[in-house]
Structure 1
Amino acid sequence: MEADEVHLKVNAIHRMKTVLMSLSDDEIKGPLFSYVNKIIDSECDEVLFAIAEEFGKTDIFNMCDGSQLLEALEKLAGCDETVVREQAALSLRNICVQMNESDVQDIFIPLVLKLASSDWFPGRVSACSLFSKAYEKAGSHKEELRKKFLELCNEDTPIVRRAGSSKLGEFATHVEKTHVIQEILPLFRKLAQDEQDQIRLLCIESLVPMAQYLSREENQVNTLGALLVAGEDKNWKVRLTFAKNFAQLAEAFGKEITDGHLIQTFSAFLNDSEAEVKDAAIASLSKCLKIISSEKITGFLLPAIQPMYADASPQFKAGLAKALC
């Protein structure tokens, strides 16, 4: 670790298990973690990423004091560098799965709430990805976690709101359905109209697991309206995301809702002004033909496709050929 070359330092970090095996418990708790914390405060991003990666491994976790390891990852999750904090958050998620319910409630959840209340945005961004894992073992802390997650999703800071939006669907699948309908879906509908294009896009991606978790009737009442609005979004990347995920959404909503409502939006995608949206729609077609009735295929889709086939892109023609084979 005293070498000048970064790659030698990174290689040394990746030999962490060998070092741990040669030390006593007291040496790990004392000198080793004191040294690790010193490194975290002074080293370059490549070394910090390596530490975040190693500390998420099961064998490393089992050989260390859990509280000290989590404290080090908490520091890394608050880093300015995106790749470091994302890896730290991923390692924290991996560790949470291995922890028992009591330790999650006593150690992990306070860490999540502390990150979520950070003065500087990186900690709050990292916290957004930790709520779903913590919630599974939260016990009496569930309401507190839901409240804090919703607070992050409502933040004025766009980057935090984006982080919350990206994890909204995942979090919803871990929450009791009553709370999803009463608390999370109103937030989803609000974010689906956000002024930030990226947030509206992320809402479509989050809707996929959420729609699969809800019943078809619950989707029709709570999410269909926002989805149809997204199909007419002024930003083509939002429409592109919808087109890419159309098959999964159609399957979650079911044949009746797809035939009655979604097929019109899909037909519009086939005639979209952006070539990428059209190509994504035709690529989704082969995945969702079994969900669409033959009447809608002949009455809506084929009439939309035929006039544009001659001037269509090679990707569009290839996608159509695959769908019809």
Structure 2
Amino acid sequence: MTSISTEENVFHDAEHASNDNSDLHPLDLLMEELKHDDTANRVEAMRKLDTIALALGPQRTRDELIPFLTEVAQDDEDEVFAVLAEELGDFVPYLGGPEYANYLLAALEILASTEETLVRDTAVESLNKVAAQLSQEHLLHDFISVIEHLATADWFSSKVSSCGIFKSVIMRVEDDTLRKNILALYFQLVQDETPMVRRAAAKNLPDMIDLLTTKIDLSTDEDWDYISSMFQKITTDNQDSVRLLGVDILISILKFFNIKKDDSHLDDLLNSCIKLTADDAWRVRYAIASKFDVLAVQFVDEDDKYTDELLKPFILLCEDNESDVRKAIAKKVATFSGLLHDKAIINLQIIPTVQSLSMDEDENVRASLALCITDLVKLLNKDEVTEHLLPLFLNMLKDEFPDVRLNIIGNLKVVNEIIGIKTLSESLLPAVSELAKDMNWRIRIAIIEYIPVLARQLGSELFDQQFSDLCISWLWDIVYSVREAAIENIKKLTEIFGSEWCKVEITDKLINFDQELFQNFIYRITILTTLIKIGTVIDMDPLKKEILPFIISLAQDEVPNIRFNVAKGLAEIATSLIKRDSKNKKLIKEELLPVLENLVQDEDVDVNYFSEQSYNSCKEMLETA
């Protein structure tokens, strides 16, 4: 934190920088600035509150500044209120410490009652910050009074704000009667006639339950009677925007009783869960579908009693008439299946459901399923994967929607590991080869990024039969991002298969490229960039004999873009040479530096600039290596 003397200097400089207010008292200066017609000026003045407070000192801040700010909180623009609410949350040190934190409550209570949502939310956040620093006496007397004022106010805005600050007291109230009264007040908010208040109460209830979970023995059975009643009220509310919040409350309640090792409530909670999955409103079903795996984990038991009960609701959600619900639950197929101890259920009930989802009329549902369907292979043996899942993967690889194909491709690695090389080469490789020429450039990139994974499993001989020519052809793609991915792919393949493979399959073909096509700038720059990348990983012999001479020959190219890329590439290769062996300094000094010296004299500004950078970089490497 900035020291007081520094802050005083900042205020002193700011005060004397003002032409009209240089002789004003700090508080008078603030008052003058807050009278400015321009809202932006008043906002800026509010951001200087810490400087004003430091200049006044703790005593005068409490006696003069805070009462003034309490008045301001009742009469200004929302932009000013929002900044004031934020500043007050960090204002306790300027009052003289936590023992005076209660001085801030009046102003924040007013701000928490405003109509503007941003101001209220900021005031609630600041109230919680201040509450954390209040003494037990001030918390029980002053802060609980703020909660009561807001929770029983006539305006919905005050009640909404009150819902967000109950959590600051629930853990610090050790008296059972007082805590019961606090929960009873919260229960009133849950039953409020205004939907916005009920939503706020439902939204904040999980936080309170999670806090009680951290101190299991604090709450009593009466407390949980209130919480249970709140949950029932919320899940039967006539507004679906309230009911859907019951999902998070259910998860928090389950976590509490699981940590407490109390399973006496599980049957009732399971029934509540199943009711939510069958709610009339699709948004409620969507809410539970999107967190079905988190819920299901809380019901896991040794004999699968509860997870088996969830199987039917899970399948019904997969068959829901609302596509957003199916999309949400499709992502949970693998995680929910992993919770089932009887793997026969996966083959008998989950797989048929997955087959239906893979042919869903909505492309987003299919894309969502494609993200996780490959994880199912971990739960089945090789024969089951080959019989049930492989046909699904192949079908989805041919899907008309690009995202479906992309999501399957991105997760094929795990499939390769299970089905083995023979099945892979017979089934998946033809599909991958076809996708490598897909019209959608993002598909082509996804396949390119998948190639090194395949390469490790296929070996060089089988890989060359299927993909060697493709790897070269991608270098000439019309989309730059594809060409860039293709270059990086060749570098990775060189690291996998070795320098001899790269020489035969890549470098010899590039260096002896068709001279007529080589006249095209795109071909030259692509070959140059590829050889530079290869040069950082290939063995020294082909680097010195073939790659470097070719790169250096392009230093005389008529296109400046080629020449400065030569300069940049030589620096990149020099870096790799030094990392390999410090003895390579001689090669850099004798072969690379003379080329860079010539390029530094180039008449083109860009060539000159990049060449000088590369030259200096190489010189520095030679001196420090």
Question: Which whole-Å CA distance do the structure 1 matches of 2:340 and 2:365 have between them?
Answer: 20
Q: What is the DSSP-based 3-state SS (H/G/I as helix, E as strand, rest coil) of the residue aligned with 2:132? A: helix
Match of 2:146 among 94, 102, 111: 111
CA distance in 2, matches of 1:238, 1:68: 43
Q: Structure 1 CA distance, aligned partners of 2:363 and 2:45?
A: 50
Task: Name the % identity.
Answer: 25
Q: Conserved in 2, the CA contact under 8 Å of 1:73 and 1:88?
A: yes
- Taking the aligned partners of 1:6 and 1:27, their CA distance within structure 2 comes to 27
- How far residue 218 of structure 1 moved from its aligned partner, in angstroms, is 4.0
Q: Which amino acid aligns with 2:64?
A: P
Q: For the residues of structure 2 that align with 1:177 and 1:87, how far apart are their CA atoms?
A: 32
Which residue of 2 is the match for residue 196 of structure 1? Answer: 239
Deviations 1:161-191 (A, max 9, x none): 2221222222233441523532211331232
1:61 and 2:92 are equivalent in the alignment? yes
Amino acid at match of 2:368: G
Structure 1 Cα separation of the partners of residues 251 and 360 of structure 2: 32
82-91 or 280-289: which moved more?
280-289
Separation in structure 1 between the aligned mates of residue 81 and residue 306 of structure 2, nearest angstrom: 48
Q: Which moved more, 1:13-22 or 1:307-316?
A: 307-316
Question: What is the TM-score with the length of structure 1 in the denominator?
Answer: 0.91
CA distance in 2, matches of 1:184, 1:45: 35
Q: Larger deviation: 262-271 or 235-244?
A: 262-271
Stretch moving more, 160-169 or 230-239: 160-169
Equivalent residues in 2 for 1:75-154 (5 A)? 75-140=110-175, 141-154=178-191
Aligned residue in 2 for 1:208? 251
Instruction: Summarize deviations over 1:210-230 as a string: whole Å, max 9, x none.
Output: 221123724423322121111
Matching residue of 1:306: 355
Match of 2:399 in 1: none
Change (3 A) 1:257 1:120: farther
Task: Determine if the alignment matches structure 1 residue 271 to structure 2 residue 319.
Answer: yes
Compared with structure 1, are the counterparts of its residues 48 and 218 closer, same or farther at alpha carbon in structure 2 (3 Å cutoff)? farther
Cα distance in 2, alignment partners of residues 83 and 174 from structure 1: 25
Q: 1:159 to 1:30 in 2, by over 3 A?
A: same
Give the count of matched residue pairs: 323
1:1-325 to 2 correspondences below 5 Å: 1-57=34-90, 60-64=91-95, 65-140=100-175, 141-175=178-212, 176=219, 178-215=221-258, 217-255=263-301, 256-293=304-341, 294-323=343-372, 324-325=374-375
Gaps of 5+ in 2: 1-33, 213-218, 376-625
- CA displacement at 1:101 relative to structure 2: 2.2
Q: 1:40 to 1:302 in 2, by over 3 A?
A: same
**Range moving further from structure 2, 179-188 or 111-120:** 179-188
Using the TM superposition, give the Cα deviation of residue 318 of structure 1 relative to its aligned residue in structure 2, in angstroms: 3.5
Residue 157 of structure 1 aligns with an amino acid whose one-letter code is T
Contact 2:254 2:298 in 1 (8 A): yes
2:263 alignment partner, SS class: helix
In the alignment, the residues of structure 2 paired with residue 63 and residue 233 of structure 1 have an alpha-carbon distance, to the nearest angstrom, of 52
Partners in 1 of 2:332 and 2:41 — Cα distance?
Answer: 47
Within 2, Cα distance between the matches of 1:71 and 1:142?
Answer: 23
Unaligned ranges ≥5, structure 1: none
Q: Given that residues 170 and 210 in structure 1 are in contact (C-alpha distance below 8 angstroms), is that contact kept between their aligned partners in structure 2?
A: no
Contact 1:286–1:322 under 8 Å retained in 2: no
Q: Distance in 2 between matches of 1:273 and 1:306?
A: 17
Q: Which amino acid aligns with 1:103?
A: H
- After the TM superposition, which of the residue ranges 281-290 and 92-101 deviates more from structure 2? 281-290
Cα distance in 1 for residues equivalent to 2:264 and 2:164: 26
Q: Deviation at 1:312?
A: 4.7
Q: Deviations over 1:232-281 (max 9, x none)?
A: 11110000000111111111121525522222111111111111111111
Give the AA of the match of 1:83: L
Q: Which has the higher contact order (CA 8 A, sep 6+)?
A: 1
Aligned partner of residue 192 in structure 2, secondary structure = coil
State the SS of the aligned residue for 1:22: helix
Shift of the alpha carbon at 1:33? 1.9
Letter in 2 for 1:111: V
Instruction: With the length of structure 2 as denominator, give the TM-score of the two structures.
Output: 0.49
Residue 145 of structure 1, CA deviation:
0.7
Higher Cα Rg, which structure: 2
Q: 1:172 to 1:5 in 2, by over 3 A?
A: same
CA distance in 1, matches of 2:305, 2:125: 37
Distance of 1:182 and 1:73 partners within structure 2: 32
1-structure distance, mates of 2:351, 2:149: 55
| Per-residue deviation, 1:286 | 4.0
1:45 Cα shift? 0.8
Give the match's secondary structure for 2:37: coil
In 2, Cα distance between equivalents of 1:262 and 1:16: 56
Matched residues in 1 for 2:360 and 2:321: separation? 13
SS of alignment partner, residue 292 of structure 1: coil
Per the TM alignment, residue 160 of structure 1 is displaced from its structure 2 partner at its CA by 1.7
Task: State which drifts further: 89-98 or 174-183.
Answer: 174-183
Residues 277, 92 of structure 1: alpha-carbon distance in 2 compared, 3 angstrom cutoff: same
Q: 2:356 and 2:332 mapped to 1: Cα distance?
A: 19
Q: Aligned letter for 2:199?
A: R
> Contact 2:199/2:241 (CA < 8 Å) preserved in 1?
yes
Do the aligned partners of residues 290 and 61 (structure 1) sit closer, same or farther apart at CA in structure 2, a change above 3 Å counting?
farther
Residues 208 and 245 in structure 1, CA contact (< 8 A), matched pair in contact too: no
